[in-house]
Structure 1
Amino acid sequence: MPAPSTPPEELLQLLPEAVVQTDALWNITYLNPAWHKLTGHSLEGTLGRSLLDFVHPDDTGTLRSGMPVFRLRLANSDYRWMRLQLQPKNDAANRVISRQGVLIEITEITEQVLMEVRQRFLRLLETIDGVVWEAELGVGNTFLSPQVERLFGYTVEEWRADPRFWRLHVHPDDLPQALVVDDAAYNATHSYAYEMSYRLIAKSGKVVWVRDLCRVDVDAGRPNRMVGLMIDVTQQKNTELELVQSDNRYALATRGSNDGIWDWNLQTDVLHVSERFNEIVGLSDTGNLHEDGWHFLQQLIDPDDHERVQTAYRRHLSGQRPNFSVDFRARHGSGRLVWLNWRGVAQFEDGMAVRMAGSLSDLAERGSSYDALTNLPGRPLFHARLEHAIALHQDGASKGGDTPAPGDATTFAVLLLDLDRFKAVNDTLGHHVGDQLLQQVARRLESSVRAVDLVARMSGDEFTVLLECVDHAGAADRARQMAAALAAPYRIGTHTVTCGASIGVVSSQAGFATTDDYLRAADAAMYQAKSHALGVCVFSGKAKQGST
């Protein structure tokens, strides 16, 4: 006759190893007698308490993230190294409802060995071409791998000092969608994996494309925890980014100066042009598709300018220039010569240019609306856009009262900035270097704003920015990001140039009636920023509030 079996609970009572069980909130729900023998804590005084209360403060994060080795506080207040591989039990919705495991003392493994294991873990993180992170709602990042400094320029301490750091440094064009994904993870009711791509503004002001592979872990009764891996995919996104930025500039140019648009398939030589393109060259009856694209363009370009035009786009195709822009004489359909500007950017696949797209401008029509050096809009176009923004804001205020509603699309801000020490650059390195510095400043400003915003060059080293659909605080934040982007060193030939900017900010909250009123207020704030080395100065009513 077989011996009667022993109930499982009685077996657990007899085990020499300590058996620990917790609920989803880490509260201890079961212990066998070996717990008291191992730790000195009584079962009665321990049951119902959080297991994390007995874990060394430096090790609670690693235990929660799944690392099984940690230091446990004994009844005599000493800490001993333990191993507890907790196995979670999930419900039908994949939510953790309990954890259980066997607690084993590993004192024979010295602290030095454990520290070496941790160092190897950190070195392993450094070999990963990405940033490993962990975050909780209201806390921000509870862990960041050291790669964050190499990829983005920020130290771990800088990043973790502000729970809003990530949100403040996502590119404004990508922030709304990123926040939708982020908020959904923080409010999720079950664990799941997800990924998203967005642009992050690095400490240098550079825009970095990021692919974020994430997982949200949901434990009942506790804030959701997210872990992930941020990977720099700028190289893969570079061509796409250039096209997006160029498309934004071309859309702005088309709206402001009525440019012609073209798209050229370099593999088939098929060239598509807009109606406005044909109007500019006086060939409105030739259609919009040309199957021999290069032959069509050669017929337009004056023979004396062929070599200059070819040199411009070949430098771009060879990778020497991020885009191309060249002025040339063209034979108009009426027979007269006209000066045109042809500019664009190529799309590359496996190192080969497969497509080009851009715009064509009549320089006589463009006149002073555009700046030839920086290819930015000039004073006339900026004034026209600002007048339109003022009219929309005044109309909205008359309908909805003096106080704009959150997210009011009619709010705007004007930024006026002047480069610091620009004259010294011109005097010591020459006007050629100064011109290249202005071009690089223009590109950094363009990469710091959204597609709906407008960057213009007023004169010399003075630039203006019109931020649309932005409130007073948002404008100040954007100005500080621009100041940080412009303060990073510039590489011009063999020279490294440092040239920051003083920025004056005035928002539609001021309620001025004319463009001159806004520009005068922005100029006054900019003067305050420059004279007091504030970096950014915000005009608010009759008072000016400075900030570095």
Structure 2
Amino acid sequence: MPAPLTPSEELLQLLPDAVVQTDAWWIITYLNPAWHKLTGHPVERTLGQSLLDFVHPDDTGALRAGMPVFRLRFADSAHRWMRLQLHPKTDAADRVISRQGVLIEITEIGEQVLMEDRQRFLRLLETIDGVVWEAELGVGNTFLSPQVERLFGYSVEEWRADPGFWRAHVHPDDLAEALVIDDAAYYAKHSYAYEMSYRLIAKSGDVVWVRDLCRVDVDDGRPNRMIGLMIDVTEQKSTELELVRSDNRYALATRGSNDGIWDWNLQTDVLHVSQRFHEIVGLDDTGHLHENGWQFLQQLIDPDDHQRVEAAYRRHLSGHHPNFSVDFRARHGSGRLVWLNWRGIAQFENGTAVRMAGSLSDLAERGSSYDALTNLPGRPLFRDRLEHAIALHRDGASKGGDAPSPGHTTTFAVLLLDLDRFKAVNDSLGHHVGDQLLQQVARRLETCVRPIDLVARMSGDEFNVLLESIDPEGAADRARQMAAALATPYRIGPHTVTCGASIGVVGSQAGFATTDDYLRAADAAMYQAKSQALGVCVFSGNGDTN
């Protein structure tokens, strides 16, 4: 069922005059019913076509230049004189994004009034910021607007006195290409619009970049006639050159950052990756274009992380986040598992994501995200994983109406572990032994979790564990297994070290909104476990412990 019309839309529908709206490329985007009554063209079949297709070929150039009077083709194939004063709408960069106006038939006004209107239009052209010109083969310019003197320093008389003036003042490096385009227009067999960019030597000797918007009119029995508008785009060209230099600087900075770069066409599923991207995942001999982008990425991502990675970028595509960043395990070409960060941003057209681009980082080379001592992920990676788990749990709860039942794939638990007597080990046996103890603790924790879980070192002797797809009872059991594993004495060189742990547990059933909420709850439970020598304490939210 179509959406109800707004009051302004209802008013447009009732207007007796035809209202026309086009986009920046002259494609008709809106017509009210009066269009059909006036022209005979059905509204439904006209939408999506170019307005210029309905204009007499001799008048399209004038309409594009802003002249409001022209001949329009009606449904009976006759052309009638119309007036359409189009009002452009521009964006922040002053670029036209749409045009709209009221179409009125003026055939009965008479030829004299039309000629007067054309004369007023010519005077208007003399005021615009560009040179309007007309030229014929063998004659040269038959018309030039006065702006030629302000932009290039030459008077209208100087320019028009010599049929070869324009060719003599095009920059030598651009002349050959410009002459090919110019000659093609002079000897064309049909009318068409074209565009040229070239440098012109001004009277002062300065070089001016020109964008020339042109049209050749071909009529039987007379030489071809060209009309156009020359615009000074020197400043724009300087900006383009600076952008090229910026792109080069960006490419150099990218290489210096040691990140891999990727660009993914979501419409064709073609993924382009840089050489550094392949080096990070150990695929140096692979081509840089992958026609099945997501299939290529899935082969790299550890199967236990597939769902989480896909959920991260799809949440961005659905508008929940302005960009995405996700850490995951990947199978390196050498066979070993590596922790990587994949991040990027999408480009949208008409509300649809058509492209994504970003970078890939090896977390082992980013000290803040990866702990070199224990070879475990660090705080940023853990927080990212927990944030995704919270989002999935929240989405699952919203779809199910209530919180997911135990065992649901979106349930999770957060554990915070703090070693007991670790400071005493450091003080009595030295930091070297303390470091080895932390390494052995990390390996024991890894043996206590499943592939989908995550163990991270937060700081000092504090570790966090994220258990995914687990119910509260299962999380408590897993925490007790860890406590038992960590309580077993460690053999470090000639020393036997005993160092248990206090563990706080908080499950997703607590329903917190942020990562900080869960970490604070886990810390409160851990503190209670340590102060009361409980070993494991499950956060309940009311001060009770389990």
| TM interval, short-chain normalised | 0.3 to 0.5
Larger radius of gyration: 2
After TM superposition, the score normalised by the length of structure 2 is: 0.36
**TM-score of the two chains, using structure 1 as the length reference:** 0.36
Which protein has greater RCO, CA pairs closer than 8 Å, 6+ apart? 1
